[in-house]
Structure 1
């Protein structure tokens, strides 16, 4: 918590107001059942939506709560302590809203329809990821065919489409190769009522099961001109839309995993306070120096997550000015996501180590957190991409062809 003497508000205060303890407890009580049944978090979703969770970053003038990105990240972290899969799925809607706000703060209103839609009750989801596409936003395996009136028809398969049972607007992109010398990446929002797509029943993962991140198969799905938001060249670029997506995704996704680490640490502290040690004449394991070292190690990792997430989310929200990172933005964002998720995995691992064999049972909450935290390695930017980004920033680009 920021000291009162600093003249700043605690960035987690509004998150606690939005997610009071009793509300969070009810969400936690349902998490194991959703995981066990591989079912969508319907009750959580309905209650979060009714509480205004999906509009927390929408400006108050448009009916939202006007949260900053830092406050949204803190709320996501808090929600993830109760139900990581619920937090991760809702995250995909919140990322679109955050991307729109990041663009607006930089004078670009290309995603105003997201802010307006969220305020009106639309639920946005990400139809971006594609199997085998390690270029992420800089190329696409999905074909985007012009309809002659400014709209497009999309054909391809999008994977990891969270919120599959609930979204009303799916953000997608594809490649318009009409001009082979100048292929374009076209972004738009598919309405759930549109024809030309199907949601596959193919979600049976190791963890994060309640997200119901099913594949979406596009077979000429039509997006009208009014819902097309960007037309960009293939390849890396710093367009405000690209920045908005990266800056939101790479801060809010690790916030979920930081919440997993928070909960794993709390469970570990609880466990060592209950378990006894024969080696120390029946004293609690919390008195064992080796156990204390592991708990301290986990706590230091959690503390570092807070500093990193609060700092970079504040920089994103600051807009143009002294807190801009210029050419180092992608280095900072990719590094943040990579570090936080790696550290969260380490914290869960330490929690399992000190909690004893009971935590290895399938019904153990720590066991579920262990399965959930592993999903972090599959979110872009992956380790290889992140390290390539940072290496290029520090060492310069490789010669062409390498």
Structure 2
């Protein structure tokens, strides 16, 4: 699979040409989404039998890297659809067909979004402040607040979870399901006015007793960390595809840095190109080495997921380590590009100015720096003694 065959240069150029406008107007990328859908991009993980491309995580990560070089906010938001379809793909490859309907419906044009994050919930997938109330028919009503709901204007299926506090003898149970757009009891706030990633329109979603029927409830898990395949699949797809987006941002920044170094001249060096300045050359070389280190790590982790490699307890350290390294690496690359490009990049409307704002969002995505280091330390040293 060659990324350019699915995302040809002509399509990528059109997407890049709209990115600044979406950012300036704080508007959703409707045109990008329409073109990507027409190209089959939303069906990357959907098997050919359901009308998709039948690709795996390694191929999806390569495509997301490429898309992010043109429009980071578009790539980040599309990630959320790809996370759910990727989770369904990863589960199916391991003999779990509980989310096969996600692949089938994606093949029919449905758009999935990720409604998991909640304000103040640093337990993420292992607890929830949203209430899941069981209904007589086996469905649930959900009441709570979900933040960073990317694809807010476009989703037709929203993956959510909440806690049924009375289940499991009062210890509580986490209930996962998919909410349909036409179901009552949910509200999208128009509150996405942020520093960067503006086109993603990751608005807050309020759930006011939103009903999810029994056939859309796909998992019930105990509160707290567990080894359920769903948790593995979400971490695998979320962290890997997130790393891909930020790696793409770093790659674009590097390209702009090289172009600037060749274009700009220096009076100190008699009008010669800045590419002849030893300090600039050192910065470019340092950035190139950083980029060369993250690309194989990203490909390796994604390839191992596709190949069903069993890393055991080291899987989660690999996922969170990849995410942290990719996002921090991208911030470094953008910073280098700005230093090489000079004061013009400080002006509103330059591509590097936008990348500088967009790349900061990587700080806030789970797993954050603190939780990632805890995960890795626990894997190698064991948990802290009580």
Query: TM-score surpassing 0.5?
Result: yes
Q: Match of 2:109, SS?
A: coil
- Uncovered stretches (5+) of structure 1, i.e. residues with no partner: 1-12
Counterpart Cα distance in 2 of 1:112 and 1:242: 16
User: Which digits, 9 at most, give the CA deviation of each residue in 1:275-328, with x for residues without a partner?
Assistant: 001111111000111101101111111111210110000001112xxx211111
Single out whichever of 58-67 and 139-148 deviates more from structure 2.
Answer: 58-67
Tell me the residue number matched to 2:19. 31
Tell me the residue number matched to 2:349. 363
Counterpart Cα distance in 2 of 1:146 and 1:56: 34
Tell me the residue number matched to 1:139. 127
Q: Match of 1:380, SS?
A: coil
Counterpart Cα distance in 2 of 1:305 and 1:15: 18
Tell me the residue number matched to 1:259. 248
Q: Match of 2:221, SS?
A: strand
Counterpart Cα distance in 2 of 1:261 and 1:355: 15
Tell me the residue number matched to 2:144. 156
Q: Match of 2:349, SS?
A: coil
User: Which digits, 9 at most, give the CA deviation of each residue in 1:211-236, with x for residues without a partner?
Assistant: 00000000000000000000000000
User: Aligned pair 1:340/2:329, yes or no?
Assistant: no
What is the 5 A alignment of 1:65-104? 65-104=53-92
Counterpart Cα distance in 1 of 2:217 and 2:105: 14
Q: 1:302 aligned to 291, 301, 309, which one? A: 291
Single out whichever of 110-119 and 91-100 deviates more from structure 2.
Answer: 110-119
> What is the CA-CA distance between 1:366 and the residue it aligns to?
0.4
Single out whichever of 127-136 and 108-117 deviates more from structure 2.
Answer: 108-117
Counterpart Cα distance in 1 of 2:104 and 2:271: 61
* Count of residue pairs the alignment pairs up: 385
Tell me the residue number matched to 2:361. 375
Q: Match of 2:242, SS?
A: helix
User: Which digits, 9 at most, give the CA deviation of each residue in 1:171-221, with x for residues without a partner?
Assistant: 000000123633000000000000001000110010000000000000000
Counterpart Cα distance in 1 of 2:44 and 2:221: 30
Q: 2:116 aligned to 128, 138, 148, which one? A: 128
Tell me the residue number matched to 2:219. 230
Counterpart Cα distance in 2 of 1:239 and 1:121: 29
Counterpart Cα distance in 1 of 2:114 and 2:318: 23
> What is the CA-CA distance between 1:91 and the residue it aligns to?
0.6
Q: Match of 1:130, SS?
A: coil
User: Aligned pair 1:395/2:381, yes or no?
Assistant: yes
> What is the CA-CA distance between 1:14 and the residue it aligns to?
2.5
Counterpart Cα distance in 2 of 1:163 and 1:20: 23
Q: Match of 1:115, SS?
A: helix
Q: Match of 1:344, SS?
A: helix
Tell me the residue number matched to 2:371. 385
User: Aligned pair 1:172/2:160, yes or no?
Assistant: yes
Counterpart Cα distance in 2 of 1:114 and 1:127: 15
Tell me the residue number matched to 1:330. 316
Q: Match of 2:98, SS?
A: coil
Deviant stretches of 4+, over 4 Å: none
Tell me the residue number matched to 1:3. none
Q: Match of 1:16, SS?
A: helix
> What is the CA-CA distance between 1:17 and the residue it aligns to?
0.5
Q: Match of 1:254, SS?
A: helix
Tell me the residue number matched to 1:63. 51
Counterpart Cα distance in 1 of 2:371 and 2:250: 24
User: Aligned pair 1:213/2:202, yes or no?
Assistant: yes
Counterpart Cα distance in 2 of 1:105 and 1:390: 26
Q: Match of 1:164, SS?
A: coil
- Uncovered stretches (5+) of structure 2, i.e. residues with no partner: none
Root-mean-square deviation (Å): 0.8
User: Aligned pair 1:41/2:29, yes or no?
Assistant: yes
Q: 1:190 aligned to 179, 193, 198, which one? A: 179
Counterpart Cα distance in 1 of 2:32 and 2:256: 22
Tell me the residue number matched to 2:259. 270
Tell me the residue number matched to 1:243. 232
Q: Match of 1:231, SS?
A: strand
